[in-house]
C-alpha cells in the first residue's frame, strides 16, 4: 500500500490567448489507504491535478510521489477511472477486465479466475461475455472500476466516475464503491463536483479554488463508517455541506469584491 503525494505542483497551459495557470503550487498528501475527494468549482484544476497524478500530463513544476518514488509517466500502479466509461467496445466485459493483467503477462488461467471473481464482486454475473453496448451506464462504470482493480493498483484515481449516471444509479454506485473500498482498502483520489458525494465517500475532502487552481482547505470528514445515504440528513452532514459550500464559493465573493473595489 502506498501514499500519494503532490509536491509544489504547478501547471501552466499555453493557449491561443496566452498562458493559463491551471495549478499554482499545489501540495497535497493522501496517506496510505485513505479516500480523498477533490472538490471545487469548474476551472479549479482538480481534473488536471488528477491527470498529473496519473502521469498523463507532465506538470510545469513540482512532482508527484507514490510511496516516496517520483512518478514518471502513467503506469499500472495507478489505476484510473474516467467519467466517460472508456471501455474497449470491441472487447467483452471479461476481456476488458483482463486487459491490464494480460499486458503484464499474467497467464490465461490466472487472468480468467481474476476476472471471474471481479465480475461476481461487481454484480455483473451473467454479463461476462456481453459487449459494453449491451450494458447500462452504471454497469459500464462498474466494469471500468473492475478493469482498474484487476491490475491491483496501489492508488486509484477517479475523475468524476459517477458524473454521467442518473441520480438513482449514482446513489447505488456510491454505496457500491464504499463497500468495495471497505474490502479492498487502497489510496483513492476522487474528483467530484457533487458535495454530498464527497462527504459520503471521503476521509478527507480537499477544496480547491480556481484561477489559478490552489488548495483552499482540507477538511476531515469525521462521520463514522459505514455511512449510508440516510446520513445526509444528519446534523454533522448538513454542517459539513454548509462549510464546504462556503469554502467553494468564498473566493467568488472575494473575487467580485476585489473587482468592484
| Positions that interact with other proteins (CB under 8 A) | 51, 54-56, 73-76, 78-80, 82, 84-86, 88-90, 99-100, 103-104, 127, 130-139, 147-148, 151, 157, 164-166, 168
Distance CA(161)–CA(141), nearest Å, equals 7
- Which residues lie across from 214 on neighbouring strands? 209
Minimum CB separation of residue 62 from other proteins in Å reads 20
Q: Considering the complex, state which of residue 55 and residue 213 has its C-beta at the smaller distance from other proteins.
A: 55
Q: Considering the complex, state which of residue 120 and residue 166 has its C-beta at the smaller distance from other proteins.
A: 166
Q: CB–CB of 28/92 below 8 Å?
A: no
Minimum CB separation of residue 158 from other proteins in Å reads 11
Minimum CB separation of residue 144 from other proteins in Å reads 8
Minimum CB separation of residue 192 from other proteins in Å reads 17
Q: Considering the complex, state which of residue 109 and residue 168 has its C-beta at the smaller distance from other proteins.
A: 168
Minimum CB separation of residue 101 from other proteins in Å reads 9
Amino acid at each position: 500500500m502506498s501514499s500519494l503525494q503532490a509536491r509544489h505542483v504547478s501547471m501552466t497551459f499555453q493557449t491561443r490567448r496566452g498562458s493559463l495557470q491551471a495549478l499554482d503550487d499545489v501540495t497535497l498528501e493522501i496517506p496510505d489507504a485513505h479516500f480523498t475527494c477533490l472538490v471545487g468549482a469548474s476551472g479549479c484544476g482538480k481534473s488536471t491535478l488528477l491527470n498529473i497524478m496519473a502521469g498523463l500530463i507532465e506538470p510545469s513544476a513540482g512532482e508527484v510521489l507514490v510511496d516516496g518514488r517520483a512518478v514518471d509517466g502513467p503506469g499500472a500502479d495507478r489505476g484510473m477511472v474516467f467519467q466517460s466509461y472508456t471501455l474497449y467496445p470491441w472487447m467483452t466485459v471479461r476481456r476488458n477486465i483482463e486487459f491490464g493483467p494480460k499486458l503484464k503477462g499474467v497467464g490465461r488461467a490466472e487472468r480468467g479466475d481474476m476476472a471471474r471473481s471481479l465480475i461476481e464482486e461487481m454484480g455483473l454475473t451473467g454479463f461476462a461475455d456481453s459487449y459494453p453496448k449491451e450494458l447500462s451506464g452504471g454497469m459500464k462504470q462498474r466494469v471500468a472500476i473492475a478493469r482498474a482493480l484487476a491490475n491491483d493498483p496501489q492508488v486509484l484515481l477517479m475523475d468524476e466516475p459517477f458524473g454521467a449516471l442518473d441520480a438513482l444509479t449514482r446513489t447505488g454506485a456510491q454505496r457500491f464503491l464504499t463497500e468495495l473500498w471497505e474490502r479492498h482498502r487502497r489510496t483513492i483520489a476522487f474528483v467530484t463536483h457533487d458535495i454530498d458525494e464527497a462527504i459520503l465517500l471521503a476521509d478527507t475532502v480537499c477544496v480547491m479554488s480556481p484561477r489559478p487552481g490552489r488548495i483552499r482547505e482540507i477538511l476531515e470528514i469525521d462521520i463514522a463508517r459505514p455511512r449510508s445515504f440516510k446520513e445526509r440528513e444528519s446534523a454533522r452532514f448538513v454542517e459539513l455541506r454548509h462549510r464546504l459550500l462556503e469554502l467553494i464559493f468564498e473566493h467568488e465573493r472575494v473575487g467580485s469584491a476585489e473587482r468592484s473595489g
